[in-house]
Structure 1
């Protein structure tokens, strides 16, 4: 029987009265996305700033949307601290859900735009 993890990265397998602990494999959901080609584009600080501008939202509002701390967003946008892959994923997915399309570097450079049907109110 498998139960929900009691702590990050650990699954408790319960058999009779004996408890075994096994660490999760080092492969994260993010790594699986990369392997499958689902997540292929990194997000730059300039793209995040531009996306916020298009949506007319503050850093605090992005923090609330993405569940990423305000301090992390400020540091990332300033360039004073690189963001982890999980932070980049959270920011990208949150902004996409709000109506942003990320444009990969296809000769014209990285960019963002509002998705079709997204009204900037």
Structure 2
């Protein structure tokens, strides 16, 4: 969801996070859970790009883009 919100391709995310695009694809389809370091890199990359992660609140976890600062 975060990648879609940014309109990023798998390659865009892989390059921004410094991981191989196959790693991103395998995580997304559930073939690989990702090691903690890689998952932290991906999360930090999304946060730096303006993604906010929303905790479970009864309606499910989610993401949104941060409002631009004025």
TM-score normalised according to structure 1 size: 0.55
The one of 33, 45, 63 equivalent to 1:112 is: 63
**2: CA distance between counterparts of 1:109 and 1:66?**
26
**2: CA distance between counterparts of 1:114 and 1:84?**
25
**1: CA distance between counterparts of 2:40 and 2:59?**
23
Structure 2 unaligned spans of 5+: none
Which structure dedicates a bigger proportion of its chain to helix?
2
Which structure dedicates a bigger proportion of its chain to strand?
1
**2: CA distance between counterparts of 1:112 and 1:70?**
21
Deviation at 1:106, TM superposition (A): 2.0
Deviation at 1:69, TM superposition (A): 1.1
Q: Give structure 1 regions of 4+ aligned residues with deviation exceeding 6 angstroms.
A: none
Deviations 1:84-108 (A, max 9, x none): 1111100000001001001111222
When Rg is computed on C-alpha atoms for both structures, the one with the higher figure is 1
TM-score normalised according to structure 2 size: 0.92
Partner of 1:93: 44
Deviation at 1:82, TM superposition (A): 0.9
Partner of 2:18: 67
